[in-house]
Structure 1
Amino acid sequence: MAQKPNILFIVLDDFGVDQLTAYGYGGAAPARTPNLSAIARAGLLFRNAWAMPTCTPTRATFFTGRYPSSTNVLNAVVSSDLANSEISPYEVTVPKMLKTQGYVSALIGKMHLTGSDLDGSRNLPYGWQTMWKLGFDHFDGYLDGAPYPVDTRAGLSTFGSDVADGPYKCGFVPRAQFTGGADSGACYQATGSCENLAVGSDGTAPGRSCMERGGIFDPGQSCQSSVPSYIDFTAQNGYYTGEFIVSEADGSAVKVTASDPAGRGYRTTMETDRAIAWAKQQGGDKPWMLTLGYSAIHAPLQLPPKSLIADDTLGRNDPFVCFPGSDAEGAPAGQLSGVVDPRLITNLMTEAMDKEIGRLLVELGLASWNDDGTLNYQPEKTNTVVVVMGDNGTYVNSVKLTAPGQFDAARSKGSPYQTGVWVPLLVAGPMVKEPGREVPHMVNAADLYQLFGELAGADVAASVPADRPIDGQPMLAYLTDPGQAGIRATNFTEVGMNFTNPQATSTPFPCVIEAADTCLVFFPDKALCDDQSGVWYGPGSTVAGVPAPNGYSNCAQVSSFRVANGQDAVKVYPRAQKAVSDGTYKLVRVDRQNCPVDTSDIDSAQCSGYALTDEFYKIDTATPNPTLDRDVGSSQASPPIATATSTDGNAPVITGLNGEQQEAYDRLKAELDKRDEVASYNQNYDSVNCPGDGNRDFVVDQQDLDNWTELSRLNGGQSSWYDFNHDGKTDAADQAIIQQNLGRRCTPPAS
Structure 2
Amino acid sequence: MHLLHRVVLAPLAVPFLSAFAAPGPPVQTGGTPPNVLLIVADDMGVDMLQSYGEGTDFPVTPTLDSLAAGGMLFRNAWSNPNCSPTRATIMTGRYGLRTGIGDVIKETTPALEPTETTIPELLTMAGTGYESGAFGKWHLGNATNGGLLSPNVAGFHHYDGALGGALQSPPSWMSYYMWPETVNGSLAVRTDYATSVTVDSALAWIGNRAGPWFSYVAFNAPHRPFHAPPAGLYSENLTGLDPAVNERAFYKAMIEAMDTEMGRLLKGIGPELENTVVIFVGDNGSPRSTTVAPFLPSHGKATVYEGGINVPLIASGPGIQAGSECGGLVNTTDLFSTVAELAGVDVASWLANTKLDSVSLVPYFADPQLPSLRSWVYAERFRPVGATGYVRRAMRAIRDDRYKLILSFDRHQFFDLQSDPFELSNLLIGGLTPAEQDRYDQLKQTMLQLVTNP
Q: TM-score, normalised by structure 2?
A: 0.88
Is this contact kept in 2: 1:44–1:438, CA < 8 A?
yes
Asked whether 1:414 is paired with 2:302, we answer yes
CA–CA distance in 2 between the matches of 1:463 and 1:94?
12
Identity of aligned residues (%): 33
1:200-215 map, 5 Å: none
Is this contact kept in 2: 1:92–1:463, CA < 8 A?
no
Corresponding residue to 1:41 among 60, 69, 76: 69
1:375-394 map, 5 Å: 382-394=274-286
Q: 1:575 to 1:431 in 2, by over 3 A?
A: same
CA–CA distance in 2 between the matches of 1:288 and 1:361?
15
Asked whether 1:265 is paired with 2:192, we answer yes
TM-superposed deviation, 1:498: 2.7
Is this contact kept in 1: 2:376–2:399, CA < 8 A?
yes
Amino acid corresponding to residue 279 of structure 1 in structure 2? I
Aligned to 2:54: 25
Aligned to 1:90: 115
TM-superposed deviation, 1:366: 5.5
Aligned to 1:656: 431
Is this contact kept in 1: 2:112–2:145, CA < 8 A?
no
CA–CA distance in 1 between the matches of 2:113 and 2:108?
17
1:525-604 map, 5 Å: 575-592=393-410
Aligned to 1:254: 186
1:116-135 map, 5 Å: 123-135=143-155
Amino acid corresponding to residue 584 of structure 1 in structure 2? R
Amino acid corresponding to residue 488 of structure 1 in structure 2? R
Amino acid corresponding to residue 181 of structure 2 in structure 1? F
Aligned to 2:45: 16
Asked whether 1:363 is paired with 2:271, we answer no
Asked whether 1:107 is paired with 2:147, we answer no
CA–CA distance in 2 between the matches of 1:128 and 1:430?
36
CA–CA distance in 2 between the matches of 1:276 and 1:579?
38
Is this contact kept in 1: 2:99–2:386, CA < 8 A?
no
* Residue-by-residue CA offset, 1:621-673 (whole Å, 9 max, x unaligned): x9xxx7212xxxxxxxx221116xxxxxxxxxxx9311210111011101121
Q: 1:26 to 1:658 in 2, by over 3 A?
A: closer
- Classify the secondary structure of the residue corresponding to 2:144: coil
- Classify the secondary structure of the residue corresponding to 1:423: coil
- Classify the secondary structure of the residue corresponding to 1:413: coil
CA–CA distance in 1 between the matches of 2:271 and 2:439?
44
Corresponding residue to 2:103 among 44, 53, 75: 75
TM-superposed deviation, 1:127: 2.3
Amino acid corresponding to residue 373 of structure 2 in structure 1? I
Instruction: Please identify runs of 4+ aligned residues in structure 1 that moved more than 4 A.
Output: none
**Gap runs ≥5 in structure 2:** 1-29
Aligned to 2:87: 59
TM-superposed deviation, 1:583: 2.4
- Classify the secondary structure of the residue corresponding to 1:45: strand
Q: 1:482 to 1:675 in 2, by over 3 A?
A: closer
Asked whether 1:302 is paired with 2:77, we answer no
Aligned to 1:472: 358
CA–CA distance in 1 between the matches of 2:193 and 2:108?
29
Aligned to 2:179: 242
CA–CA distance in 1 between the matches of 2:368 and 2:415?
30
CA–CA distance in 2 between the matches of 1:145 and 1:447?
23
Aligned to 1:146: 166
* Residue-by-residue CA offset, 1:424-480 (whole Å, 9 max, x unaligned): 0000011113x10010111110111110111011011122142x3201112110002
**Gap runs ≥5 in structure 1:** 116-122, 151-161, 164-234, 248-252, 258-262, 324-336, 368-378, 502-573, 593-612, 630-637, 644-654, 679-748
Q: 1:365 to 1:26 in 2, by over 3 A?
A: farther
Is this contact kept in 2: 1:53–1:393, CA < 8 A?
yes
Amino acid corresponding to residue 242 of structure 2 in structure 1? C
Asked whether 1:351 is paired with 2:137, we answer no
CA–CA distance in 2 between the matches of 1:129 and 1:78?
16
- Classify the secondary structure of the residue corresponding to 2:232: helix
Is this contact kept in 1: 2:378–2:398, CA < 8 A?
yes
TM-superposed deviation, 1:149: 3.0
CA–CA distance in 2 between the matches of 1:278 and 1:437?
31
Q: TM-score, normalised by structure 1?
A: 0.54
Is this contact kept in 2: 1:77–1:498, CA < 8 A?
no
TM-superposed deviation, 1:500: 8.2
CA–CA distance in 1 between the matches of 2:368 and 2:396?
32
CA–CA distance in 2 between the matches of 1:288 and 1:281?
10
Alignment coverage as a number of residue pairs: 419
TM-superposed deviation, 1:125: 4.3
Q: CA RMSD in A?
A: 2.0
TM-superposed deviation, 1:414: 0.8
Is this contact kept in 2: 1:8–1:290, CA < 8 A?
yes
Amino acid corresponding to residue 397 of structure 2 in structure 1? A
CA–CA distance in 1 between the matches of 2:434 and 2:261?
51
TM-superposed deviation, 1:675: 2.8
CA–CA distance in 2 between the matches of 1:499 and 1:475?
29
Amino acid corresponding to residue 435 of structure 2 in structure 1? E
TM-superposed deviation, 1:365: 0.9
Amino acid corresponding to residue 25 of structure 1 in structure 2? E
CA–CA distance in 1 between the matches of 2:296 and 2:98?
29
CA–CA distance in 1 between the matches of 2:219 and 2:69?
22
- Classify the secondary structure of the residue corresponding to 1:441: strand
Is this contact kept in 2: 1:431–1:480, CA < 8 A?
yes
- Classify the secondary structure of the residue corresponding to 1:308: coil
Query: For the pair shown, which has the larger CA radius of gyration, 1 or 2?
Result: 1
Q: 1:390 to 1:619 in 2, by over 3 A?
A: same
TM-superposed deviation, 1:265: 1.6
TM-superposed deviation, 1:141: 1.2
CA–CA distance in 2 between the matches of 1:478 and 1:411?
29
* Residue-by-residue CA offset, 1:30-82 (whole Å, 9 max, x unaligned): 1001110000011100011000111111100001100010111110101221x
TM-superposed deviation, 1:270: 1.0
CA–CA distance in 1 between the matches of 2:366 and 2:295?
33
TM-superposed deviation, 1:143: 1.4
Is this contact kept in 2: 1:455–1:476, CA < 8 A?
yes
Aligned to 2:382: 496
